[in-house]
């Protein structure tokens, strides 16, 4: 079951072959970033060694009268329909149509045995009244979860504990960024590259700031059996969740999850990586308070805040890529789009002279200049 349908898929991207060049890299940055950024503060959040089990994977141990489920469903629909009339229209209001779609998904994840056909009847019949259904959460929890979604603006993905991303269903919880559809393009670009050049399938890749492990898992799958990905994150919650997702896809042999700041857990791999992918925090600090409630109130600041102009981590990654990539190695960095992508290309061209070649800006599904890609000379 796929829940997000990107409007189109990327078909051809990397037209240039893997270039090799003997020009030495001269790094003389005018705007010298610290080689190791100071550790950002990690908001205190209880870290458990095992992530929360998403609703759809729970045992259906709650046998409940259908009439009670029916009542809950009516209440949930009414609450969803009431939000638009009660909200003063702003950019940050909830939409009933979105909530009703989410309610359908919540039911699919919770109720065993063809739940929708029962709940979509106009009226409950006498026969149905005697029926019971098996649920993966108690009714009490379902009332609470739906209130959290609407009244606290808790993201739907945290409510159900998972996100459908590319061909994966990834566990997510508070403390870990919910992977976004546009980030799927990073895996598509890697797939395109490795389909044309086997060299990239044999070497080591790094996914920096792995979060739920989405990119690392996607890349490992397209690399095939010889692939090797090291996934790093500073957030202990991300490390637990990414490790769990890696296990769920039986990719422990291909993906190693390491805790630490950016390249720090990659000591010993200098000049040895064939690829680096990263979707770092890139939102300018001043924009954080204006984010949609679901994002600003619930997603981790560590995953969002990119410093004054949003490029602190990106600049750090540019320097790291010059040290860590093999000659001919490839990188993709996701950015906030437009101005930021251009800034990163300018920085790599002018301040990290001769380190990279074939620098490109690649748009996302919405036509926003979202990614910077290139090769290590």
Ligand X SMILES: C[S@@+](CC[C@H](N)C(=O)[O-])C[C@H]1O[C@@H](n2cnc3c(N)ncnc32)[C@H](O)[C@@H]1O
Binding site residues, ligand X, CB under 6 A: 40, 177, 179, 183, 209-212, 214-215, 232-235, 238, 261-262, 279-281, 302-303
CB of 234 vs ligand X, minimal distance in Å: 4
Residue number, 157 or 183, with CB nearest to ligand X: 183
CB of 293 vs ligand X, minimal distance in Å: 18
Closest CA relative to residue 55, chosen from 137, 175, 167, 148:
137
| DSSP-assigned letters across all residues of 60-128 | --EEEEHHHHHHHHHHHHHHHHHHHHHSPP-TT---HHHHHHHHHHHHHHHB-SSHHHHHTSSS--HHH
SS3 call for 41: coil
**Cα 308 vs. chain centroid, distance in angstroms?**
23
Residue number, 20 or 39, with CB nearest to ligand X: 39
CB of 339 vs ligand X, minimal distance in Å: 18
CB of 42 vs ligand X, minimal distance in Å: 8
CB of 315 vs ligand X, minimal distance in Å: 13
271 CB neighbour count, 10 Å cutoff: 12
SS3 call for 222: helix
CB of 92 vs ligand X, minimal distance in Å: 20
CB of 18 vs ligand X, minimal distance in Å: 24
Residue number, 119 or 189, with CB nearest to ligand X: 189
Report d(CA 152, CA 171) in Å as an integer.
Answer: 21
- Alpha carbons within 13 angstroms on the beta-carbon side of residue 248 total 21
CB of 121 vs ligand X, minimal distance in Å: 39
31, with CB counted inside 10 A (0-12, 13-18, 19+), is: exposed
Residue number, 215 or 332, with CB nearest to ligand X: 215
Residue number, 307 or 328, with CB nearest to ligand X: 307
Q: Which two tokens stand for residue 31?
A: 């705007």
Please state whether 328 falls in left (phi above 0), alpha (psi between -120 and 50) or beta.
left
Residue number, 191 or 358, with CB nearest to ligand X: 191
Residue number, 136 or 316, with CB nearest to ligand X: 316
The helix (H) or strand (E) run that includes residue 273 is: strand 273-278
Report d(CA 178, CA 169) in Å as an integer.
Answer: 11
Residue number, 110 or 313, with CB nearest to ligand X: 313
């Amino acid at each position: 079951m796929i829940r997000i349908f990107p409007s189109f898929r990327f078909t051809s991207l990397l037209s240039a072959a893997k270039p090799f060049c003997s020009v030495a890299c001269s790094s003389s940055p005018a705007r010298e970033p610290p080689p190791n950024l100071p550790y950002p503060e990690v908001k205190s959040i209880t870290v458990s060694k095992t992530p929360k089990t998403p609703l759809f994977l729970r045992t259906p141990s709650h046998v409940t009268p259908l009439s009670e489920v029916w009542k809950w469903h009516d209440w949930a629909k009414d609450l969803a329909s009431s939000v638009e009339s009660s909200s003063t229209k702003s950019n940050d209001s909830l939409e009933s149509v979105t909530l009703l779609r989410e309610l359908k998904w919540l039911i699919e994840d919770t109720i065993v045995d063809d739940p929708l056909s029962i709940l979509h009847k106009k009226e409950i019949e006498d026969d149905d009244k005697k029926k019971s259904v098996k649920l993966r959460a108690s009714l009490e929890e379902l009332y609470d979860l739906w209130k959290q979604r609407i009244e606290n603006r808790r993201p739907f993905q945290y409510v159900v504990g998972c996100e459908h991303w590319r061909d994966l269903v990834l566990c997510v919880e508070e403390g870990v960024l919910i992977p976004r559809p546009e980030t799927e393009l990073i895996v598509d670009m890697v797939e395109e590259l490795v389909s044309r050049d086997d060299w990239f399938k044999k070497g080591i890749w790094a996914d920096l700031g792995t979060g739920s492990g989405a990119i690392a898992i996607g890349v490992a799958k397209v690399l095939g059996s010889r692939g090797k990905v090291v996934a790093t994150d500073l957030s202990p919650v991300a490390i637990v969740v990414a490790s769990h997702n890696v296990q769920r896809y039986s990719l422990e042999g291909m993906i190693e999850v390491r805790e630490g700041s950016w390249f720090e857990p990659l000591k010993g791999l200098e000049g040895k990586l064939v690829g680096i992918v990263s979707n770092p925090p890139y939102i300018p600090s001043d924009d954080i308070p204006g984010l949609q409630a679901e994002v600003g109130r619930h997603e981790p600041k560590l995953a969002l805040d990119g410093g004054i102009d949003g490029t602190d981590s990106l600049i750090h990654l540019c320097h790291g890529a010059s040290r860590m990539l093999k000659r001919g190695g490839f990188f993709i960095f996701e950015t906030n789009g437009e101005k930021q992508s251009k800034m990163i290309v300018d920085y790599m061209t002018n301040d990290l002279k001769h380190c990279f070649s074939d620098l490109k800006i690649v748009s996302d599904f919405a036509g926003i200049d979202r990614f910077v890609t290139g090769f290590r000379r």
